[in-house]
Amino acid sequence: QENLIGALLAIFGHLVTSIALNLQKYSHIRLAGSKDPRAYFQTKTWWCGLLLLVLGELGVFSSYAFAPLSLIVPLSAVSVIASAIIGIIFIKEKWKPKEFLRRYLLSFVGCGLAIVGTYLLITFGPNSHEKMTGENITRHLVSWPFLLYMLVEIIMFCLLLYFYKERNANYIVVILLLVALLGSMTVVTVKAVAGMLVVSIQGNLQLDYPIFYIMLVCMIATALYQATFLAQASQLYDSSQIASIGYILSTTAAITAGATFYLDFTGEDVLHICMFALGCLIAFLGVFLITRNRKKSVPFEPYISMDAMPGMQNMHDKGIAVQPDLKASFSYGALENNDNMPEIYTPATLPIVQEQHGSKGVSAPPYRVLEHSKKE
């Protein structure tokens, strides 16, 4: 029963969070496409999205107090499913039935697989239930499986951070592994803080234990650093790649942390563990197919606006824009027509006017020096 309560809270939280983020995105897009001078935080749609976002995060936070960590973390696939369905419902283009099915076939298959994987996760999830009291959390914190796991994780994190900072290894797997390792500690501390708060609300006060504040500080610190690495990854890679790879790595690291810290799979038989692992794999495949179907963003090709430079004339007349030459040439300022013409104009060269100065036998300089008086 506690597993079901926790799973339902997590599913509700992820659904509401996905709807909230899409509402806020809709408010930004609507303001950008209109002449409304208001800022985004002055619209009712954005504030409605913010309130739903807080409600969804509270639901996910409280779910950790009821169900095992290894069960709650993979359920974040629900947010990916909800985002895909919302994107299909509110799509702007008009498709024929065959084209629509062909275009979104991967999304439909991915949503189906993710739903099947979620069902297996809830059905065969671990059934370890333990009161999150200060004594229990302190005992788990000093247990040898978790200490060994922490040692391995610290070594891995330091090595990855060294290659990322010193060797400039800006690979998506490296950055998202750093996020996953930090995220595993975040969910461990979130479950401890949420569990101790629920036990305190039930009448057994746990806020006078120092371990509560230690976990609270670790939760905030790891969440902030995790957001920093995610922001760096979003600047380098596409959001669909971050969503799929990040979900797989973060879920794997969090399940491992829950199995070592809270001993989630203690007393479980082999069949339940194998079915739970199968549910994780199916959910991984579903999320990968959903994010695989998303359109890749077209990279922006910058152009130089000559009217922004002092002393230069405006060269945007008649659909002609000043573009940098991208054809491995050292010239800068190739003119390219915007009217879909096949011709590409080569960079113009300025003629050198040579004037005769002095005798005929002396070569003239390629320029002339004009003397100006102080008044001129």
**Are 230 and 242 a contacting pair, CB within 8 Å?**
yes
**Are 212 and 206 a contacting pair, CB within 8 Å?**
yes
For 13, the token pair is 């939280």
Is pLDDT above 80 for 311? no
**Are 355 and 368 a contacting pair, CB within 8 Å?**
yes
- What DSSP character marks residue 354? P
pLDDT of residue 371: 54
The CA-atom distances, in angstroms, between 88 and each of 78, 94, 100, 144, 360 are 15, 11, 10, 48, 79
Is pLDDT above 50 for 304? no
Lowest pLDDT segment from 71-75, 94-98, 272-276, 348-352: 348-352
- Quick: pLDDT tens for 95-151: 666 666 667 788 889 999 999 999 999 899 888 778 889 999 999 999 998 999 999
pLDDT of residue 257: 92
Q: Is 315 helix (H, G, I), strand (E, B) or coil?
A: coil
**Are 337 and 343 a contacting pair, CB within 8 Å?**
yes
For 174, the token pair is 């490296």
- Quick: pLDDT tens for 223-248: 999 999 999 998 888 888 898 899 99
- Quick: pLDDT tens for 166-225: 888 889 999 999 999 999 999 999 999 999 999 999 888 888 899 999 999 999 999 999
The pLDDT-based confidence of 361 (bands split at 50, 70, 90) is very low
The mean per-residue pLDDT over the stretch 91-98 comes to 59
User: Rounded to an integer, what distance in angstroms lies between the CA atom of residue 214 and that of residue 211?
Assistant: 5
Facing residues of 335 across strands? 322
pLDDT of residue 307: 47
**Are 14 and 118 a contacting pair, CB within 8 Å?**
no
Is pLDDT above 80 for 91? no
For 148, the token pair is 């060994």
Q: Where are the beta strands (DSSP E) in the chain?
A: 320-323, 334-337
The CA-atom distances, in angstroms, between 346 and each of 103, 323, 332 are 39, 11, 10
**Are 215 and 193 a contacting pair, CB within 8 Å?**
yes
